[in-house]
Amino acid sequence: MRFSKTTADVFIPDEIPLDEALDRITHLGIAAHPDDLELMALHGILHCLEKPDDWFGAVICTGGGGAPETGRYRSEPHGRLKEIRRREQNLAALIGRYSVVIHLDFESRELLGAEGRALLADDIAHITRASHPSVVYTHNPADRHDTHVAVCRAVIRGLRALPHPERPRTVYGCEMWRSLDWLVAMDRLLLPLEGPENIARALAAVHDSQISGGRRYDLAIDGRAISNAILDDPHRLPKYEKAWLAMDLTALLHNDDLDLKDYVATLLENFSKDVISRLERG
């Protein structure tokens, strides 16, 4: 399989041929940077760890070569830090029993333009056609990180390039640089994080270049997951100990005429109506 970037790289933990590694994928995560999937797609990773017949595949769209502001990696040059982050991502794949990790190696600035997103969408279409996953995890379109939003846009475009029978059954837009707690109950998906906790912690901890750079993502994600589960419903006991929030993007694959901006606008309108209606009660 050829990718848009000649510097793209593939890592297969159990070293089987690429076509076989793609063919067994049931859950596919498509993220902007190394470490994103271990934070936002843990639902799928843990599911596949518990189900031997299911396999998680990872697509990492950029190299994440920006140096942290503090810590022992702050002086690493761009190319060297990309190598470190790629190695960390591959280590996570070994721990999480991934089927494959595909590093597409775009630069973030490329994905902020239409041409770069079009190339990424083509790669995503090729990968998804070969892997035919049932479930896809990606960033949500209301994220605060521009590169995350760009990847989400490219994912929807790439999946829409496939014939309807070849499209995933479900697409989750996962929270990251903005909590999705604001979504009303009918729009908010609660994804339980059930599985071995030590492995879940290890999946985040291997990304040392980020954690030691002044941002304890491992602690933040664990705290948010607990909060999501406990504070989901003020009138009911929590169903889970930990959970992640997502929006269901599947409707965008059922209706190619549905604009992503209009879809998000509807979610915002639902939130606004919910808040105003509570203020008007009584």
With b for 16 or more beta-carbon neighbours within 10 A and e for fewer, the 72-106 pattern comes to: ebeebeeeebbebbbebbbbbbebbebbbbbbbbb
User: 90: helix, coil or strand?
Assistant: helix
Predicted pLDDT of residue 72: 72
Structural domains for the chain: 9-280 (3.40.50.10320)
Predicted pLDDT of residue 215: 82
Predicted pLDDT of residue 106: 97
Predicted pLDDT of residue 77: 64
Predicted pLDDT of residue 80: 81
Predicted pLDDT of residue 81: 81
Predicted pLDDT of residue 209: 87
Measure the CA–CA gap between 172 and 270, rounded to whole angstroms.
19
Predicted pLDDT of residue 177: 95
| Blockwise average pLDDT, block size 10, the chain, 282 residues | 96 98 99 96 96 97 72 68 92 98 97 98 99 99 98 99 98 97 97 93 92 85 96 93 98 98 98 96 82
Measure the CA–CA gap between 153 and 32, rounded to whole angstroms.
11
Residue 5 identity: K
Predicted pLDDT of residue 213: 73
In sequence order, the 6+-apart residues with CB closer than 8 A to the CB of 225 are 42, 193, 242, 243, 244
